[in-house]
Structure 1
Amino acid sequence: MYPDYIFRRRFRIKRDLYLKIVQAVADHDPWFQQRRNAAGELGLSALQKVTAAFRMLAYDAPADSLDECLRLGEATIIESMRRFVRAVVGVFSDEYLRAPNEEDTARLIAINERRGFPGMLGSIDCSVNDINVLHRSHLLDNLAAGVAPQVQYSINGHAYTMGYYLADGVYPEWATLVKPITCPVGRKRQHFVVQQAALRKDVERAFGGPIVSVSHSPGGYEDMG
């Protein structure tokens, strides 16, 4: 129905990547595969079921708001969401949901140093109910414990050995999080706030929706997003 640029805008994802995920999910869970019923009629397609899950995630839409456009019942849409998230974890977790290794960390440090933030590993953004999502994410357990990959860098003549992530003001005071300065006074502090906010927007632009987004994943999120 849509050319590529409209598809990307409406689904928050590129068409070829979307179809790759649909196929991977259908291969992982036969429930998504299209079958014929006892009367010989084709049932629901994987595209219908996966699209229901994508629309709910992309727009925080309730299940009963999608039934007419996708020709799915509310119960089927909810089941699609449940099975979809399990399938995504089952298929993609080893590659895209793992902690960064030494090679990943070195690459991220080099990229962010060129952007003016030496020692930065990534950004964190939870668009909805930030703190509740933050404390339920297994990806962030080490951050909560004040643990981050060991790196060597220097800022203003001071040597540091622990990487950090950018976050906004709602997050807790953790050693692994660098938040904006409240009421910055002076050009240097004001410049820092502007640059810190600009890099944090990378996550919001890439992911949008009401999910926790951590941009430190090992190349995977760059590819997936």
Structure 2
Amino acid sequence: MASKYFRLSSLGRSSNLRDEDDEIEAAAAICMLQQKRRRGGSVPGHRVYNRDRAGADKQLMADYFVERSLYNEDHFRRRFRMRLELFCDLVKKLAAANSYFAQNNNCVGQAGFTPTHKCAVAIKMLAYGGPADALDDHLKMGESTVLLTLKKFVQTIIQVYGQEWLRPPTAEEMKHILQVNAARGFPGMLGSIDCMHWEWSSCPTGHHGMYKGHKGKPTLILEAVATEDLRIWHAFFGMPGSHNDINVLDRSPVFDNLANGCVPPVEFTVNGNDYHLGYYLADGIYPDWATLVKSIPAPANNKDGWFAERQEACRKDVERAFGVLQAKWKILHYPARLWKPSDLRDIMMACIILHNMIIADERGSDLPHIENREWPGPSDPPVNNIAEMMDAYTVIKNKETCYELRKDLVEHIWAMKGSS
């Protein structure tokens, strides 16, 4: 094209040619050279794949969703990580909340993917964590559409279910948690707390210094609180991997509701002493706070050794929750390949929401259904009095209470062992 331009320019300077026609042709050539290629539309040389969307959807329905399906509900639960009834309810609510999941026609009038088809693709991506184009052969959805569907899916999951399944426990739920943990030897315990790293393989090289920590690879950190039933009641995700558990705790809102007086009171007695703050079991890296109970690293006697054994056994609740979360949603087990931390956060939170939903659906619960008006407020409510909040954090971080509580728990658990 450049040689044509120079040829036309030289011809335009020749007096033997028609000046007007040559000037028009030269101007057109210059415009073609200078004009940038517009984005969108058809790409020259790009192959268009005529995927049989209707056939793939028909096959998907015949495999799982018709009366006499090819695969039974056990197959569905193993492959989609949830019961068929829960998946159908999820599809219905997501289609009502986001028009993207409704079936629409494209510009030539062809029917697009059904809501069930789109949700099945998103669940498969979360459950298996493979490359996006791996679903093209049997679900007939291109790579870019798979990634868009995944992002829309996790965003809508958070929008529809986040308020219900990512919240602190209510008074009735907390009562149930306290009863279960008291029977295990830890009255006043609300759960166990720890952190998990998710490797980020697509982390920009310029950010490696911030996201690379003791793991040796760029990671993002999830802080979570879990109970014995593996329900995750608190999730704080997104801190760079160069931080440790203490840095994450200092920035986490896990105790903000307690400091602002937005949680139900916890009153319990251990070894004849009264306490007014619930606590979490933690590992040795955490600080000595009144709301954290750690193990004894070098037990000097049988009492301390028995307490350390029981504390470390119950603290594994959160470790088990991490293991189940990563085993159920393999996308969290493999290195993350998306580019934006916000997308990774949406995926993590959506997986936790689905994890909690499946636990409640499969194990059942004797707790009453929580209406919207009964849910607690946001995890980080506005602070009306800074001085009162600072005083509350002084109580939360009290070391003397931490040592006294652990001492009383040692005696309490030893007494429980003797009585048994």
**What TM bracket, shorter-length normalisation?**
0.7 to 0.9
Q: With CA pairs under 8 Å and 6+ residues apart, which has the higher RCO, 1 or 2? A: 1
Distance 1:112 1:65, change over 3 A: farther
Bigger Rg, structure 1 or 2: 2
The residue that corresponds to 2:88 in the other structure is 19
Q: Residue 315 of structure 2 is aligned with which of 188, 196, 199? A: 196
CA distance in 2, matches of 1:152, 1:119: 7
CA distance in 1, matches of 2:105, 2:158: 28
After superposition, give the CA deviation of every residue in 1:18-72 in whole Å (9 maximum; x if it has no partner): 1111111111111111223344432112222212222222233332333333211
The residue that corresponds to 2:229 in the other structure is none
Q: Residue 125 of structure 2 is aligned with which of 22, 42, 56? A: 56
Structure 2 spans left out of the alignment, 5+ residues:
1-62, 64-70, 199-218, 224-235, 239-248, 333-347, 363-420
CA distance in 2, matches of 1:74, 1:184: 56
Asked if the contact 1:125/1:204 (under 8 Å) is kept, the reply is no
The residue that corresponds to 2:17 in the other structure is none
Distance 1:44 1:182, change over 3 A: farther
Distance 1:108 1:194, change over 3 A: closer
After superposition, give the CA deviation of every residue in 1:121-153 in whole Å (9 maximum; x if it has no partner): 23456654386233537xx84326694844112
Asked if the contact 1:119/1:162 (under 8 Å) is kept, the reply is yes
CA distance in 2, matches of 1:10, 1:174: 43
After superposition, give the CA deviation of every residue in 1:91-142 in whole Å (9 maximum; x if it has no partner): 11232223323222222222332344322223456654386233537xx843
Distance 1:92 1:220, change over 3 A: same
Give the secondary-structure state (helix, strand or coil) at the position aligned to 2:269.
Answer: strand
1:136 matches 2:255: no
Distance 1:37 1:142, change over 3 A: closer
Distance 1:114 1:202, change over 3 A: farther
CA distance in 2, matches of 1:191, 1:220: 29
After superposition, give the CA deviation of every residue in 1:140-183 in whole Å (9 maximum; x if it has no partner): 843266948441123344433222334566x7447445556557
The residue that corresponds to 2:136 in the other structure is 67
Give the secondary-structure state (helix, strand or coil) at the position aligned to 2:254.
Answer: helix
Q: TM-score, normalized by length of structure 2? A: 0.44
Q: Residue 41 of structure 1 is aligned with which of 110, 119, 141? A: 110
CA distance in 1, matches of 2:83, 2:313: 30
Q: Residue 276 of structure 2 is aligned with which of 161, 168, 179? A: 161
Q: Residue 325 of structure 2 is aligned with which of 200, 207, 222? A: 207
Give the secondary-structure state (helix, strand or coil) at the position aligned to 1:110.
Answer: helix
1:91 matches 2:206: no
CA distance in 2, matches of 1:45, 1:174: 53
Report the RMSD for the aligned CA atoms in angstroms: 3.7
Which amino acid is the alignment partner of residue 119 of structure 1? G
The residue that corresponds to 1:118 in the other structure is 187
Asked if the contact 2:94/2:101 (under 8 Å) is kept, the reply is yes
Asked if the contact 1:122/1:166 (under 8 Å) is kept, the reply is yes
CA distance in 1, matches of 2:298, 2:74: 40
The residue that corresponds to 2:145 in the other structure is 76
Q: TM-score, normalized by length of structure 1? A: 0.74
